[in-house]
């Protein structure tokens, strides 16, 4: 009988053992569940923050575009210019007005345009300075060079030309009296001159539009991407 009772007790102990393991597993599952819920909550919060930055970015883009359009709408046609809503670029697209063919020296007419345009441009952007990462003065050319040039030679000749032109534009606007008196340091720290040669040539149905490819643009770049990276890194 004692052996029998002993066996009974052993079976009872085993049952209690398995019940304890079962309770432990249930507890671990609850812990994992809480961790999963917490991680999901953090992911949702992070997603909402990024969404908020994206929505703010879109609203800011729209606000800057409208401000530029309201200021310059009456001048665009006479300047041979346009404003791109998506890139926030003011594009000067009348190449004969900008520079002599193959040269980096500004024409008198383009100087006159810049005298009027650039101080007003900075005034429009004054209210957005905290969210502006950079303003790029971008120079673009067509792919054409001399007939005897290879594609490689034409590209790098145009690269040098486009860079020289944008540097000339930046150098000119920084010497304007109103810029020197009111905006010089900000322009020096936040405006860059870049040349893209023909890498961003305009095409229509796959055919390069040489006239529209020769242009100078003033493009606003906001810090939305920087804000998103800060959220992801926090």
Cα 139 to chain center, whole Å?
17
Question: Is the Cβ–Cβ distance between 84 and 140 less than 8 Å?
Answer: no
* Cα-based angle 224, 114, 217 (whole degrees, multiple of 5): 40
Rounded to two decimals, what is the model's pTM?
Answer: 0.75
Q: Is residue 205 part of a domain?
A: yes
Task: Judge whether 27 lies within some domain.
Answer: no
- For residue 19, being part of any structural domain is answered with no
Q: For residue 37, how many other CB atoms are within 10 A of its CB? A: 10
| Domain assignment of residue 37, yes or no | no
Q: Domain of residue 101: give its range.
A: 49-233
Q: What is the DSSP letter of 126?
A: G
Give the strands of the sheet with 81-84, arranged side by side: 81-84, 89-92, 215-222, 132-140, 191-195
Within a domain: 120:
yes
Q: What is the pLDDT along the chain (234 residues), one digit of tens a residue?
A: 454 445 545 555 555 555 576 766 777 777 777 787 777 776 676 666 667 666 767 788 899 999 999 999 999 999 999 999 999 999 999 998 999 888 999 999 999 999 999 999 999 999 999 889 999 999 999 888 877 889 999 899 999 999 999 999 999 999 999 999 999 999 999 999 999 998 988 888 888 888 888 999 999 999 876 766 665 555
Tally of domains in the chain: 1
Taking residue 13's Cβ as centre, other Cβ atoms within 10 Å add up to: 10
């Amino acid at each position: 009988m004692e052996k029998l009772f002993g066996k009974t007790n052993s079976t009872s102990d085993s049952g209690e053992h398995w019940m304890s393991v079962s309770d432990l597993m249930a507890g671990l599952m609850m812990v994992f569940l809480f961790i999963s819920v917490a991680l999901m909550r953090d992911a949702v919060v992070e997603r909402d923050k990024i969404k908020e930055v994206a929505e703010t970015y879109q609203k800011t883009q729209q606000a800057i575009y409208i401000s530029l359009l309201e200021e310059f709408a009456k001048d665009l046609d006479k300047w041979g210019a346009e404003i791109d809503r998506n890139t926030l670029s003011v594009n000067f697209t009348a190449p004969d007005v900008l520079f002599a063919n193959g040269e980096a020296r500004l024409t008198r007419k383009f100087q006159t345009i810049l005298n009027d345009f650039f101080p007003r441009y900075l005034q429009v952007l004054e209210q957005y300075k905290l969210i502006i990462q950079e303003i790029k003065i971008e120079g673009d050319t067509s792919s054409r060079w001399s007939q005897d040039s290879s594609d490689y030679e034409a590209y790098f000749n145009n690269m040098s030309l486009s860079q020289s032109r944008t540097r000339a534009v930046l150098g000119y606007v920084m010497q304007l009296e109103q810029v020197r008196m009111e905006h010089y340091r900000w322009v020096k720290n936040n405006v860059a001159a870049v040349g893209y040669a023909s890498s961003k040539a305009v095409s229509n149905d796959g055919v390069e539009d040489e006239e529209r490819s020769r242009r100078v643009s003033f493009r606003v770049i906001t810090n939305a991407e920087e804000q998103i990276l800060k959220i992801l890194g926090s």
